[in-house]
Structure 1
């Protein structure tokens, strides 16, 4: 953003404001002095480098106070609007990337663990963020929205052995980035737990469940159930895996395991269960055609309308269109198929197919039958009917006068 502000075009643009805005310093809400944000030709260095996690209300209050206390200001509506746009861009973009958020990962990737298990939390930045020297990065950790005071150059947070006090919601921040979404860790005291991933499960995701017990005890292979019906696991390591889930995967899952305790003869059976609800990645598509009434020669637009889940809004979808079962456009990231100057052969039953980039989730729309409205034929019919009505009227008038 700083580089953008200092480009020649922007320098010329901001130079038009020279002398309009005051040249007085701002102070950070905590009282730390900042460089003037309108230094000389309004290059806005302090505003641009202002940490993006500062509250917008505090910055707005400071700017408003500065403007109101300087008698030299005379801003018309257009100038004020431009200034507000510049402030908004600086606040949302900034040097930290604004919307860039780190991601908290659990290692191993279980949302629930037993008391005494080892757990490591790692704070990762998205791959789209340029790699910088790790030594210069600072990591800030939070548990239940309260900061965890520790070495800020450590990317991981280790809980070994874990205790009940480690249960909670964890977040992290890298430098001045936005704070991550929360990841929940649940530590329990039990003989057997059914472990599952910490985050929500969506259509197309792989799913692994584990019937877990303390390592110091011996056990026999577990049994898994879904809705009280036993399901067979193909893996001998106490895990049940599904390569790709769908909405039908939802249900009540349970595992049962026999454990032998030291000093006791025989095995005792323990179980745990949880309700799995698979979330819809995107809604079933629906064909929408505009305009609603089309005649030959009109431009026609066919849209494949679907809604992504907000938490997976970045999912890349591909769209294909069909007319009367035949492909009119193959898979493409555009959800719109356009027909310029439509003709009779462009009409029929349209359907669309939506899938993820990997093809793991695919959904087809219902058919939509669009018809061509031939106003020429309609006008001829209307003209003939009008002619008959006129002729009948003239005949009635003629015979009425004759009688």
Structure 2
């Protein structure tokens, strides 16, 4: 009879299998990468990951409900407010079952949020949480791509960039002070319109943040500095005493020589 696997080996195998399943988990991507859009915009969602097996198919979910689409790409040709919400994709290992049965979906992706707004302008960003030093890409998008003039990007209510014609705003390197509320404004026809205000957060990047020395290194530096100060003070004290001693000896020699000549 073969030897049974030890509990440690079994635990390692289960952990490896779980990690492999995590690595094979599909990912939902937005194309273009804006999670905030306007009504009537075209939105494409792509389910990227391991290709499904022969007996499986891709399954899409919107706010937890199944969508009648099994293609790797799901397209919303004209977005509506009801299209807002959470989108996920997964692999249905029993594609021959009725479409309302979702318990057989495996390898479910992480959720991606889509916000459909009604208005003239929306401020779009590839990401809303950015690490310090990374670029920031903002886009002042108009309804049905209508021409926008005299565009101003505002940060915490203050204008940071002006474009006569509507243009994306690119910031090469984000700083911590760039966190805050952003919006854009411009002229559509003769009307001055504003987008909704959104929040952008710039987090500290550990790779470029100044490192904090351990307490013992700080204490060592203070002790060495104190010893250096004491050594310097002792040096000048000895030098002063030596100079004083030499001056006294010189005076004594002169007096002794004078007394000798008088005899």
TM-score band w.r.t. shorter chain: 0.5 to 0.7
Q: Deviations over 1:47-71 (max 9, x none)?
A: xxxxxxxxxxxxxxxxxxxxxxxxx
By relative contact order (CA 8 Å, sep 6+), the higher-ranking structure is: 2
Runs (5+) with no aligned partner, structure 1: 1-13, 18-78, 261-266, 283-354, 356-361, 374-403
- Aligned-residue Cα RMSD (Å) equals 3.3
Q: TM-score w.r.t. structure 2 length?
A: 0.65
Counterpart of 2:64 in structure 1 is 145
Gaps of 5+ in 2: 94-105, 224-263
1:205 — aligned with what? Answer: 134
Instruction: Find the counterpart in structure 1 of residue 80 from structure 2.
Output: 163
Instruction: Return the offset for 1:216.
Output: 6.0
Q: Number of residue pairs matched?
A: 205
- Measured in 1, the distance between the counterparts of 2:145 and 2:174 equals 33
Q: Which secondary structure state, in structure 2, belongs to the residue aligned with residue 276 of structure 1? A: strand
Whether the 8 Å contact between 1:107 and 1:120 is mirrored in structure 2 is: yes
2:210 equivalent to 1:364: yes
Match of 1:122 among 46, 51, 73: 46
Alpha-carbon shift at residue 235 of structure 1 (Å): 9.3
Report the Cα offset of residue 210 of structure 1. 1.3
- Which runs of structure 2 are paired with 1:245-324 in the superposition (5 Å)? 245-260=174-189, 267-272=190-195, 273-282=197-206
1:9-24 equivalence runs, <5 A: 15-17=2-4
Counterpart-to-counterpart distance in 1, 2:53 and 2:186: 44
User: Displaced runs of 4+ in structure 1, greater than 6 A?
Assistant: 132-137
Higher strand share: 2
Q: Please state whether the residue corresponding to 1:204 is helix, strand or coil.
A: coil
Instruction: Describe the shift of the 1:236–1:269 C-alpha distance in structure 2 as closer, same or farther (beyond 3 A).
Output: closer
Larger radius of gyration: 2
User: In proportion to residue count, which structure has more helix?
Assistant: 2
Mapping for residues 95-134 of structure 1, pairs under 5 Å: 97-100=20-23, 101-125=25-49
> Matched residues in 2 for 1:228 and 1:167: separation?
28
The TM-score with structure 1 as length reference comes to: 0.44
